[in-house]
Amino acid sequence: MSLNSVNIMGNLTRDPELKSMPSGKSVCKLSIANNRVYTKNSEKVTEVSYFDIDVWGVIADNCAKYLKKGHGIIVEGRLRQDRWEKDGKTQSRVSITANNIHFMPRKREDTQGGSSSSQSPEMNVPDNIVWEE
């Protein structure tokens, strides 16, 4: 028996990269930053981790259409390890293959009162939308 499941929330570190595969299916490459804040010796410490994410199919198309650098997302998926040989040494990389992507509401400052809206003007999607494959 085995289990391979990951849920992670973070902000995009770059704009999504959409590619079309020879099979006709789309893949979207995302990269997120995830912060862990903790206290050490009475000081607040922030530890940042970066994760590469592969999104496939219709979800990939929607990510490329609606997401931009800085947008927050929650990823549900699984870990995948790639291995290859380079200069006689084994290399490896762990990434996340997404099953679901949850778009986080964006906050923006209102120019006339400082109140915030839950969605940026460039995104015409409902708050908390979820696309499942």
pTM above 0.85, yes or no: no
Residue 16 lies in a domain: yes
Name residue 94's beta-bridge partners: 81
* 99 contacts 74 by C-beta, under 8 angstroms: no
Residue 111 lies in a domain: no
Domain residue limits at 41: 6-102
Residue 121 lies in a domain: no
CATH number at residue 44: 2.40.50.140
Residue 120 lies in a domain: no
Residue 98 lies in a domain: yes
Residue 94 lies in a domain: yes
pLDDT in tens, 60-92: 999 999 999 999 999 999 999 999 999 999 999
In total, how many domains does the chain have? 1
Residue 57 lies in a domain: yes
Q: Is residue 121 scored above 60 in pLDDT?
A: no
* 53 contacts 98 by C-beta, under 8 angstroms: yes
pLDDT in tens, 10-48: 999 999 999 999 998 999 999 999 999 999 999 999 999
Q: Is 90 exposed, middle or buried (0-12, 13-18, 19+ CB in 10 A)?
A: exposed
Helices (H), the chain: 57-66
Residue 54 lies in a domain: yes
Residue 9: band (very low, low, confident or very high) from pLDDT cuts 50, 70, 90 = very high
**pLDDT score for 126:** 45
CB-based burial, 35-53: b 16+ in 10 Å, e otherwise: eeeeeeeeeeeeeeeebeb
Q: Is residue 125 scored above 90 in pLDDT?
A: no
